[in-house]
Amino acid sequence: MRTIEWDTAKQSLRVIDQRQLPEKYEFIYLDNYKAIAESIWNMAIRGAPVIGVAAAYGVVLAGLQSTAKDRTQFLTDVRTAAKELNDSRPTAVNLPWALKRMLSIIEGQDIPVAEMKSALLAEANVMAEEDILVNKTIAKNGAPLIKDGDTIIHHCNTGALATVDWGTALGIIRFAFEEGKHIHILVDETRPRLQGARLTAWELKQMGIPYDIISDNMAGYFLSTGQVQKVFFGADRVSANGDVANKIGSYMLALAAKDNNIPVYSVFPTSTVDLSIQDGKRIPIEERDPEEVLALSLNGQRVMPEGATARNPAFDVTPARLVTAYVTELGVVQQPFSVQYKELLRLQEG
């Protein structure tokens, strides 16, 4: 299931509108960079890996629609778009990573404007295909962690919808299931936007993987009663020491798992690692509209008292000490993260 795809005929980005799932499976076409930035912010497009690739296509659209005749003005137009795209969501490092990579294709290159436009599109297409390959490699690396008969708690959504295709943590679960392992998934509903209940459950249903939805505050019960063998979640930014910024609720889940000696696996592509940030305390945390929390209804009626206020941080940080291992396309990274990860990078480069 491809979440986003460039439409050559329409010169636009076709994306699954994740706001409509699971009730409707609809595509929208985004034909300018501002529309992509807005779709990232309003979470029509969501998931750290895929928002990076979507932003890359935003740069493509800015370039294609630039009327600049000279290289200097073209670069100005593209950089302006890149800044607006970068500001659409602050926590996921895949966003600035992708934008930096796109700009590097044309900065310092003395080539005509037409060639720069072509180069940007070619690079975005490469990034999209790389994302799929990386995700499948992550899945192969992580599948041995899952044993036949495991029940797994999965937080938020890390499937194909969070990537260009296949998925990260949910991609591992899919791979293990397709190997023939009998597994069962407890899906954290993931308040307040319910990415687990709306999106992960929908994906699991498409794949035929058995699951039950649980409210986020039920996880401790299932962990403490021996009904869970593994915890899996993704990452939006990983600091140099291995602290993981991920969807709000991940920290509490990891704490409960640690207290019950249940392994916790954070799954992500290496583009999610930010070696410029030493620890999780320095990771910027997005705070979204309180209305996402306040809009809860029961039996068709709003449950919050009139005039109620709310806080809505979209992410929290799980300290490295609570993570058993990290699964990347380079392999399974054990503790200490900073040492193991740098060694894997060295081996890859060498």
How many C-beta neighbours within 10 Å does residue 112 have? 12
Task: Provide the token pair at 44.
Answer: 């029509």
CA dihedral 335→336→339→340, nearest 10 degrees, is: 0
Q: Cis link prior to 319 (omega < 30° from 0)? A: no
pLDDT tens-place values along the chain, 350 residues long: 899 999 999 999 999 999 999 999 999 999 999 999 999 999 999 999 999 999 999 999 999 999 998 899 999 999 999 999 999 988 888 999 999 999 999 997 788 999 999 999 999 999 999 999 999 999 999 999 999 999 999 999 999 999 999 999 999 999 999 999 999 999 999 999 999 999 999 999 999 999 999 999 999 999 999 999 999 999 999 999 999 999 999 999 999 999 999 999 999 999 999 989 999 999 999 999 999 999 988 888 889 999 999 999 999 999 999 999 999 999 999 888 888 888 877 766 65
CATH class of 4-136: mainly alpha
Residues 192 and 322: their CA atoms lie apart, in Å, by 24
Residues 282 and 274: their CA atoms lie apart, in Å, by 11
Of 218, 220, 206, give the one whose Cα is nearest residue 177: 206
Phi and psi at residue 108, to the nearest 5°: 80, 5
Beta-strand ranges (E) seen in the chain are 4-7, 12-16, 27-30, 151-154, 184-188, 211-214, 230-233, 237-239, 244-247, 264-267, 273-274, 297-298, 301-302, 315-318, 325-328, 331-334
- pLDDT value of residue 248: 97
Domain residue ranges of the chain, discontinuous segments joined by +: 4-136, 139-349
Residues carrying an active site annotation: 236
Residues 328 and 343: their CA atoms lie apart, in Å, by 13
Task: Provide the token pair at 63.
Answer: 């370039």
Judge residue 24's burial from the number of C-beta atoms within 10 Å of its C-beta, 0-12 exposed, 13-18 middle, 19 or more buried.
exposed
Residues 160 and 142: their CA atoms lie apart, in Å, by 16
Topology of domain 139-349, CATH: Rossmann fold (3.40.50)
**19 touches 133 (CB < 8 A):** no
pTM listed for this prediction: 0.94
